[in-house]
Amino acid sequence: MLMPFKEHPLRHQLITELHARTYIPLPAPSRLSHIASVCGERGSGRTVHHLYALLEHYGIPRPRQVEQYYLVDLGALRLLWERHTEFVSYTFSQSGPFEHPFANPVAVQLPIEWLASMPGEVIAAISLALEPADTPDYSPDELSSLFGGHSVIGSEVVGGLARAYSDLRIHADGFSRVLLRDQGLSPNQAGRLAKRILEVSSYRAMALLGLQPAREANACLSDAERRLVAVSSRMACQEDRSQEIPESELLAELTDLAAEIEAVAARTSYRFEASRAYYGVVMQRLEQLRQRRIEGLQTLSEFLEARLTPAIATCNSAAKRQQGLAERAARLTSLLRARVEVELQKQNRGLLESMNQRAKLQLRLQETVEGLSVIAIGYYGVGLIGYLFKGLEAHGLPFPFDATYYTGVAAPVVVLTAWLGLRRMKARLLKWEHSGN
């Protein structure tokens, strides 16, 4: 009976995610070939079509949908296809006895055309052999010969239920080699162990992809740091006016320098973050191997930590360095802009003082003009009154009337009236101006 509750739309997807990283059970003896190809985050469509081409070659119908992984039998081979963030991995396994652990890897049974048309670029290719517990032990020379005469590293894993050997080198067939000796593993344990070791190899390679960009970034950052110090020194010399450099020139140089640093960060930040994430996965998988030392051999953890940890430290150092330089460039830019603003304020203050002096001069001129206007208005006003008084005198009033005398008496009154009128008009204009603002 189906329960009537309402399910979250992601419930089934979240349960599927728990089983997204499956493994192939490996009965001893077995061999497998593992190939990891970097195709980018947007290359999943090409890789799925490439998988379909292989299925068609073996006469297997296409699945309705391919999620994060796909497990299928290809006759005598078994394929586990997995999609990761930046790469896709193919693991081909074959159970049964073998004469030599690494002669004719399992992948040689695949179509040559299909291998040649694999999307992306192969970053890891591992040939792994699982030997049964009753296989005779190898002498040190025999073990070394299995790995082309190279130095071998190895350890007991899974609490002593197996032994793992490798040289972590690429051999003439293009594959790295891993040898597992069963000492009491079940097929499921062997499958999980093989998967962890393969993931260590793949994620180790992906983690090291950040090393070369880190070296290139350090070279660019060294040049940027030298130029930043030079700009800082030139800014400090600005106190010596004989060597004064225009702030606009310094600001343009700082802006270009900050843009270059940001460009380096944009190219490398994702790679550095990915390297740190892959490094964390490698360390986690090594811890899950539960290794024990084999006398005379360096363990997998010791070998990888001695070489992988400094590389990741270089990536971290480059990331911190470019962040620090970006912050220093930003601080210098802010300081220079502050200095430019101070200079602008000084110029503005000088301009305001000059405008204030001009305003005072204009005020004095205006007051002079106002005085002249009062005189002119008074002159014309007195003249008009004089004409009036002369007309009255000529008309012959019943009492004696001296037009000249009364015109002289009216002159101060006319001038005072004109002055008061102009002041009142000026006050009204100022009041209107302030109310408008």
Among the listed residues 260, 275, 267, the one whose alpha carbon sits nearest the alpha carbon of residue 221: 260
Cα torsion at 275, 281, 282, 283 (round to 10°)? 110
The 8-class DSSP code of residue 131 comes to E
The radius of gyration of the chain from alpha carbons, rounded to an integer in Å, stands at: 46
CB 20 within 8 A of CB 67: yes
Structure tokens given for 45: 């469509």
Among the listed residues 417, 407, 408, 419, the one whose alpha carbon sits nearest the alpha carbon of residue 374: 419
What is the strand order of the sheet 30-38 is part of? 69-74, 77-83, 87-95, 30-38, 121-131, 176-182, 162-166, 153-157, 292-293
Do strands 30-38 and 87-95 pair parallel, antiparallel, or not at all (unpaired)?
Answer: antiparallel
Q: What is the mean pLDDT of each run of 10 residues along the chain (437 residues)?
A: 75 71 88 94 82 94 87 94 92 94 94 94 96 90 92 93 94 95 94 95 94 92 86 70 62 84 89 94 94 92 91 93 88 78 78 81 71 74 77 67 74 79 75 67
**What pLDDT was estimated at residue 242?**
46
- Phi/psi of residue 37, nearest 5 degrees: -120, 125
For the segment 277-311, what is each residue's pLDDT rounded down to a tens digit?
999 999 999 999 999 999 989 999 999 998 899 99
Neighbouring CB atoms inside 10 A of 37's CB total 19
Among the listed residues 74, 85, 68, the one whose alpha carbon sits nearest the alpha carbon of residue 32: 74
The helix-helix angle for 300-395 and 403-436 (nearest 10°) equals 160
List Cβ<8 Å contacts ≥24 apart for 237-243: 238/339
Neighbouring CB atoms inside 10 A of 4's CB total 5
Structure tokens given for 100: 């030599």
CB 155 within 8 A of CB 224: no
Please give the full DSSP string across 285-335, using - where no structure is assigned: HHHHT--EEPTTS--HHHHHHHHHHHHHHHHHHHHHHHHHHHHHHHHHHHH
**Burial class (CB within 10 angstroms; exposed 0-12, middle 13-18, buried 19+) of 185:** buried
CB 414 within 8 A of CB 382: yes
Q: What is the pTM of this model?
A: 0.75
**What pLDDT was estimated at residue 245?**
57
**What pLDDT was estimated at residue 437?**
57
CB 71 within 8 A of CB 22: yes
